[in-house]
Structure 1
Amino acid sequence: MKLDIRLPDPPAVLRRGPFRAGTFRGALHEPRTAVVVGRLLGAAFLVCFLTGLLSHVMQHQPQWLALPSRPVWGYRVTQGLHVAVGIAAVPLLLVKMWVVYPRLFAWPPAKSVGHALERLSIGVLVAAGIFELSTGLFNIVQWYPWPFWFVPAHYWLGWVAAGAVTLHVAVKLPLIVGHWRRSRAAAADPDGPSRRGLLTVVGAGVGVVTLATVGQTVTPLGRVSVLAPRRADIGPQGLPVNRTAFGAGVLDAVRDPGWRLEVMGPRPFTATREELLAMAQHTVTLPITCVEGWSASADWSGVRIRDLMARAGAPAGAHLRVFSHERFSPYSVMDMPDEYARDSLTLLALMLRGEPLAEDHGYPARIIAPNRPGVLQTKWVTRMEVLT
């Protein structure tokens, strides 16, 4: 015998406002509208998750994983896409939540244990999505009003959001397919805006926020991207910086006239800046790309890392550990795998655009390598160790 349990109707006090029958009418709150917006939002989340995962792996490269140093602009494209799509997802998420929020007032709140778990999973999805997008926005302007470290929190909540999206799509897939295949000429509320009007506004909103911020990566759009946190042509020597020498607490060290680079290996040696300048110099054009999404290309000159390693007697397959004068940073020590250390474009840079490095750009010497995150382009280098 089937047991049919019916919850009582909501009390009269709740049959008002958004709980009133027939409150939400028209195409704007229909499931098909939610499906259309959800497809766009899901695609944005997928791009952000994949590019974010790639960025995390490139910043914290496992020893067993070999990453290519080419194309030189690879990280610039993927991280720029990560930030640009993340910003574009903000209006999509707001509209998606507005379209489906009437379901918050559905009665009964839970029809079964399974339904309750489904609603709970949606709550996790919404919370994770808001967390990822909001903390990402704060990160690109380098404002951290929370007690936890952004990188691991953003990374692990990204997995939570991905899992919640996957579960939500799996549960709702029959409904999604059904509404997507249904006639697009769905009934609209004659007294309200149409679905097409809503989607037009959404598209315009996404276009505006993208155009207003993407110039920090797509440099030709820099002057029209009025909301971009960075411009590629503003900063010392016409290049942006995230952390100044003063902010890093290295001014005394880098201004020391007795500065020497220490290179440890089978044949260790030290070299002054003048001695490094007397070695064979090479000039490369490479971008600096930061996790906040901005990037800019410049001409760098200096000594090839592989030449310094060869002088130190590095064997084939050796990698490099680089130390910065900056001590209180998770990136003050950087490991450089062989694929990057042996690349002809990887330099210990001494000059920027034909001039000595500015202090804020890493004077007296810094790393510049192709297809690497900016946090691994170590500034204010003091020591390098050949590791086998």
Structure 2
Amino acid sequence: MRIRWRSPIRGPWLTSVLGLVLLCALPLVIVTGLLDWVAYGPGQTIPADVGALHLPLLGWPTRPSWLFRLTQGLHVGLGIVLVPVVLAKLWSVIPKLFTALPRNPLRAAERATLVLLVGGILFEIVTGLLNIQYDYVFGFSFYAAHYTGAWVFVAGFVLHVALKLPAMTRGLRSRSFRTELRTPLAQTRSEPPGDLVAPEPEPPTLSRRGALALVAGGSLLLAGMTIGQTVDGPLRATALLLPRGRTLPGDFPVNRTFAASGIAPAAVSAGWRLELGSLRLTRAQLIALPQHTAALPIACVEGWSTQQTWSGVRLRDLAALAGVPAPTSALVSSVEVGPFARATLTGAQVRDPDALLALRVNGADLSPDHGFPARVIVPALPGVHCTKWVRSIDFTTSGPRP
């Protein structure tokens, strides 16, 4: 049976308006996502093996301290907010997906870009949403697939914009946006016959301004249920979509609890020592060293972040104590065993005056979930590299440089 698309509001103008929103917002999602890959640093990017898709490894700065919080928060938050716009845009052009491939080479090329564009963005949305829910039902590496899928989408996006930008411009100019916002349902009519316009439209059940309001309302609703993950305070309770976004009063999020780490309690009890080359320091000895306090954010790849007040020993002071006054890198190892139990810091990160081996947070000793007996906290560093349950720090004058 032939599918008949008969909505009277579908047409070049509505498609162009939705396309303009995505044209303005999606580049920001793309750029922040790629910047986050760079933020993980030399030798520990996630995913690490990306072949020809490798970006230049620049020295990720430590200032402003909220840089990674901003880029990751925008990437995840804006990606979620745009979901209703993406779905509405797909609805507006869906008739074209069920028509024969045109003979015109330019139109055929434009249709081919839809495979990369539509397939890429749906893949990115689905895997991204599953990742922030910690639900890995797809059975493959999220990081490798999401990164590769992003480049597939970018290719489709660039080609599609290059081919369709003139059509979008014509569509936007075909009707007055202000007039459409004043047009009620009773006065809603189909656009002149043409691309995407239903040849035999049914009576309207929704005006164009109603459709735009529905999409905007959906985006605002998702924003309200998302923004709390990156804003400390009362809004934290509104982060209904993100399992790590909300916490009990007086606490803040963690990605991995002490119980989930599998660390034996004895490994972080009274017998724990911090290894600094040939030195072995107890927690009491670390507390006896000059302490520094800094308010720093910690941000995770799933999009949540929080700013807390940390106290501990500056990493550069520990480097000097270990006999490496001018380190170019530091390898931090955790008591935990696993793929994220080690992190490499650059010389600039070690030397930052607020880079700490934290022993306390918000005036109290670290809890086991927050990394007791000691954890690393560095301005603008991705949360996965702010190693918890630190066992050793190896400062060197070789390896990553500032």
Aligned match for 1:96, one of 80, 89, 101? 89
Change (3 A) 1:226 1:246: closer
Q: Residue 323 of structure 1 corresponds to which residue in structure 2?
A: 333
Change (3 A) 1:96 1:370: same
Q: Distance in 2 between matches of 1:223 and 1:79?
A: 20
Aligned match for 1:283, one of 293, 307, 310? 293
1:160 equivalent to 2:172? Answer: no
Which sits farther off after the overlay, 196-205 or 41-50?
41-50
Q: Residue 188 of structure 1 corresponds to which residue in structure 2?
A: 189
Q: CA deviation at 1:25?
A: 4.9
Task: Give TM-score scaled by structure 1 length.
Answer: 0.87
1:263 equivalent to 2:244? Answer: no
> 3-state SS of the aligned residue for 1:35?
helix
Whether the aligned pair in 2 keeps the contact of 1:357 and 1:364 (CA below 8 Å) is yes
Deviations 1:243-292 (A, max 9, x none): 1122111134533432111112xxx3111111111111122111111111
AA of the residue aligned to 2:137? P
1:107-118 correspondence to structure 2 within 5 Å: 108-112=100-104, 115-118=107-110
Q: Residue 121 of structure 1 corresponds to which residue in structure 2?
A: 113
Which sits farther off after the overlay, 294-303 or 53-62?
53-62
Whether the aligned pair in 1 keeps the contact of 2:132 and 2:242 (CA below 8 Å) is no
Whether the aligned pair in 2 keeps the contact of 1:253 and 1:325 (CA below 8 Å) is no
* Structure 2 gap segments, 5+ residues each: 44-55, 181-187, 191-201, 398-402
Aligned match for 1:137, one of 119, 122, 129? 129
Aligned match for 1:373, one of 373, 377, 382? 382
Q: Distance in 1 between matches of 2:81 and 2:57?
A: 35
> 3-state SS of the aligned residue for 1:60?
coil
Q: Residue 73 of structure 1 corresponds to which residue in structure 2?
A: 66
Q: Distance in 2 between matches of 1:224 and 1:214?
A: 8
1:362 equivalent to 2:374? Answer: no
Q: Residue 40 of structure 1 corresponds to which residue in structure 2?
A: 21
Q: CA RMSD in A?
A: 2.1
Q: Distance in 2 between matches of 1:25 and 1:350?
A: 62
Whether the aligned pair in 1 keeps the contact of 2:293 and 2:312 (CA below 8 Å) is yes
Q: Residue 305 of structure 1 corresponds to which residue in structure 2?
A: 315
Whether the aligned pair in 2 keeps the contact of 1:29 and 1:102 (CA below 8 Å) is no
Q: Distance in 1 between matches of 2:73 and 2:64?
A: 15
Q: Distance in 1 between matches of 2:98 and 2:363?
A: 65
Change (3 A) 1:233 1:285: farther
AA of the residue aligned to 2:293? T
Q: CA deviation at 1:219?
A: 2.5
Q: CA deviation at 1:117?
A: 4.0
1:240 equivalent to 2:253? Answer: yes
Task: Give TM-score scaled by structure 2 length.
Answer: 0.85
Whether the aligned pair in 2 keeps the contact of 1:47 and 1:82 (CA below 8 Å) is yes
Q: Distance in 1 between matches of 2:92 and 2:175?
A: 19
AA of the residue aligned to 2:243? P
Q: Distance in 1 between matches of 2:155 and 2:69?
A: 27
Q: Distance in 2 between matches of 1:142 and 1:69?
A: 28
AA of the residue aligned to 1:368? I
Q: Residue 229 of structure 1 corresponds to which residue in structure 2?
A: 243
Q: Distance in 2 between matches of 1:116 and 1:248?
A: 52
Q: Residue 4 of structure 1 corresponds to which residue in structure 2?
A: none
AA of the residue aligned to 2:70? V
Q: Distance in 2 between matches of 1:225 and 1:386?
A: 39
Q: CA deviation at 1:178?
A: 1.6
Change (3 A) 1:247 1:212: same
Q: Distance in 1 between matches of 2:316 and 2:125?
A: 40
Deviating above 6 A after TM superposition, structure 1's stretches of 4 or more consecutive aligned residues are none
Q: CA deviation at 1:306?
A: 0.5
Q: Distance in 2 between matches of 1:357 and 1:254?
A: 15
Q: CA deviation at 1:208?
A: 0.8
Q: Distance in 2 between matches of 1:137 and 1:286?
A: 27
1:171 equivalent to 2:163? Answer: yes
Change (3 A) 1:181 1:113: closer
Q: Distance in 2 between matches of 1:223 and 1:383?
A: 36
AA of the residue aligned to 1:129? I
Aligned match for 1:82, one of 75, 90, 108? 75
Q: Distance in 1 between matches of 2:243 and 2:209?
A: 33
Q: Residue 206 of structure 1 corresponds to which residue in structure 2?
A: 219
